[in-house]
Amino acid sequence: MKKIEIKTTVLEYNSVDNFSEEEKILIQKSKEALKNAYAPYSNFRVSASVLLENGEIICGTNQENAAYPSGLCAERVAIFYANSLFPTVPVKALAVSVFAKNDFPESPTPPCGACRQVLVETETRFKNPIKIILIGKNIIRVIESAKSLLPLHFDDKFLD
């Protein structure tokens, strides 16, 4: 038997001081876009802002539906929107924030499994790691690439 251990590194910060100017704007825009979430069923508002290599910032929010599975997470709305507007421009970073129960949760909210898969596809597509920035009330977590959020991921290599 061979035991394989997979390590993921998460960086944790207490302020935005450690982020670049464009990342600070990305974080701010993510928080501002929370007002655009359509979450009447869960009241769990999620916003994801995408920073592209050309400096553009695209925001997306969760979009719910009375037929629950027809809705979509903020991360996928943002990524698909960004890739539709700029199909040749790599994604550099993604910042995610949440507003629920009249507050920003203490613990930063990580992307769901399906969103991780889409983020991995986007990294593969542009051959560029995406810096994932998860915003909590007082702490911000950073994961340096989507692939490290989804160990043993399925990607294009398995279709060869």
| Known active-site residue 75 | yes
Min separation Cβ 145 and ligand THU, Å: 17
Task: Give, as one character, the DSSP assignment of residue 155.
Answer: -
Min separation Cβ 62 and ligand THU, Å: 3
Tokens linked to 78: 């943002």
12, 75, 106, 121: which is the annotated catalytic residue?
75
Nearer to ligand THU, 21 or 70 (CB): 70
Whether 78 contacts 117, CB under 8 Å: no
Whether 124 contacts 84, CB under 8 Å: no
Pick from 27, 33, 34, 46 the residue near ligand THU by CB under 6 A.
Answer: 46
Task: Give, as one character, the DSSP assignment of residue 2.
Answer: -
- Contact range with ligand THU by CB under 6 A, out of 18-26, 37-45, 117-125, 148-156: 37-45
Task: Give, as one character, the DSSP assignment of residue 87.
Answer: T
Pick from 39, 59, 82, 146 the residue near ligand THU by CB under 6 A.
Answer: 39
Nearer to ligand THU, 51 or 134 (CB): 134
Min separation Cβ 55 and ligand THU, Å: 25
Tokens linked to 109: 């909210």
Tokens linked to 106: 């203490």
Tokens linked to 30: 């993510």
Residue ranges in 90-129 that form contacts with ligand THU under rule CB under 6 A: 111-112, 115
Closest CA to 50 of 139, 136, 146, 124: 146
Residues belonging to the active site: 75
